[in-house]
Amino acid sequence: MEQFLKELGKKADEKQTENKKFFTKLKKKVPKNLDYIMQELHEEEFKKTDCLECANCCKTTGPLFTNADVERIAKHFRQKPQKFIENYLRVDEDNDYVLQQVPCAFLGADNYCSIYDVRPKACREFPHTDRKKFQQISNLTMKNVAICPAAYNIVEEMKKRIK
């Protein structure tokens, strides 16, 4: 995993043109069973990839925090939402709450998330490869393949499976 993560940025760069072409074609002609294919590819990939050996998303990007996330996590810490925001979050250029710094403050040295049960929705859903109408998030996915080895592998499998 460590070696794969080291090379991931370069590998994703090399695939950029190919991926862009693939997703443009996919959006023009969406397979009827795309939701089913994605579910299958996602499950197959996460049988092989252990997020606890990786945590690259928590180390390098971090999620957006919705208001519901802020309220739930602040409650977990018995803090006022405003206090939680002051302690951990900032507002980014799109006006969203994001982490003040990465790696995420809630990530342990063992790659466990210390707020796992109440973690942000975006953390639960990342890398979004099992979501419906996957073609709608192709721009985001093209960024995610440079961060997430599972997303990278899933896109590579998609290209083999969907001609």
Stretch that binds ligand SF4, among 20-28, 57-65, 76-84, 155-163 (CB under 6 A): 57-65
Half-sphere exposure of 4 (CA within 13 A, CB side): 14
Instruction: Report whether the peptide linkage leading into residue 149 is cis, meaning its omega lies within 30 degrees of zero.
Output: no
Number of residues that bind ligand SF4 (CB under 6 A): 23
8, 104, 145, 158: which one binds ligand SF4 (CB under 6 A): 104
For residue 55, the minimal CB distance to ligand SF4 (Å) is 5
DSSP-derived secondary structure letter, 80:
-
Beta bridge partners of residue 152, listed in sequence order: none
Q: Residue 8, interface with ligand SF4 (CB under 6 A)? A: no
Q: How many residues does the chain have?
A: 163
User: How far is 58 from 54, CA to CA, in rounded Å?
Assistant: 9
147 touches ligand SF4 by CB under 6 A: yes
Is residue 148 at the binding interface for ligand SF4, with CB under 6 A as the rule?
Answer: yes
Q: Is 113 in the site for ligand SF4 (CB under 6 A)?
A: yes
